[in-house]
Chain A
Amino acid sequence: DAGVTQSPTHLIKTRGQQVTLRCSPKSGHDTVSWYQQALGQGPQFIFQYYEEEERQRGNFPDRFSGHQFPNYSSELNVNALLLGDSALYLCASSLGRRGTDTQYFGPGTRLTVL
């Protein structure tokens, strides 16, 4: 049973560019949440997708957007990259939209913005 997978594992971009990160949830899970973890910080919630719609959003600008596909996989898009966007981006999957169900995290994508 595959857990949560994310791609790519590492990515280097320059300021102003756009990036797309991908996540496949754990088998049987229908909810995907995205988090940003800056160095020395805990994960910060970006948004959650359920039934292909953004259900909840954290305190992140509109430059951060996402999508969920019918197979429950998800993408995180970040436009107009800033140096401060450098972080580990984590995807977590769960079953059900309440958020009280156990979340399983992927290994993350390390984004470096130069």
Chain B
Amino acid sequence: TQLLEQSPQFLSIQEGENLTVYCNSSSVFSSLQWYRQEPGEGPVLLVTVVTGGEVKKLKRLTFQFGDARKDSSLHITAAQPGDTGLYLCAGAGASGGSYIPTFGRGTSLIVHP
């Protein structure tokens, strides 16, 4: 059973479009992280959110942590080809448990020029 469900699994869009990626769980997390992974590389941390309802912005990327700390979303405005990659969410501290992050399957994003 996947603790974290990410949707959509695949996304193929044109440069300039907006998109939202979702990360959902039935568990409450102490913190949730978003990573981007490019082919042949390890995941790179984009952001960590810890407070329910928290919104963080990183240039054209907006991250939101749900009020109940069970879900999160990543919104990209005016996507560019450089945004192409696998976007992974990872939750830690579920129900007072381990702080080792548990990853979702990821959303594979392709942005066409």
Contact = CB atoms under 8 A, between A and B. Distances in A.
A87 interface: no
Interface string A77-114: 00000000000001110000011101111111000000
A33 interface: yes
A44 B105 CA distance: 10
B103 to A, nearest CB: 3
Given A102-B48, A106-B42, A107-B42, A45 B102 contact: yes
Interface string B4-36: 100000000000000000000000001100000
A99 B98 contact: yes
Interface residues of A, number: 25
A61 interface: no
B93 A100 contact: yes
Interface string A26-64: 000000010100001111110010000000101000000
B45 interface: yes
A90 B106 CA distance: 16
A108 B42 CA distance: 6
A21 interface: no
Q: Identify whether the interface residues of A are mostly helix, strand, loop, or mixed.
A: loop
11 contacts: A42-B88, A42-B103, A43-B88, A56-B98, A56-B100, A90-B42, A98-B99, A99-B100, A100-B99, A102-B45, A107-B42
Q: How large is the interface on B (under 10, 10 to 19, 20 to 34, 35 or more residues)?
A: 20 to 34
Nearest to B90: A42
Residue among B41, B48, B93 having the largest count of chain A Cβ atoms under 10 Å: B41
Given A100-B92, A107-B40, A42 B105 contact: yes
Nearest to A42: B103
A105 B92 contact: no
A4 interface: yes
Contacts of B105: 40-42
B101 A99 contact: yes
A88 B105 CA distance: 14
**Among B42, B93, B99, B103, residue most surrounded by chain A Cβ atoms (within 10 Å):** B42
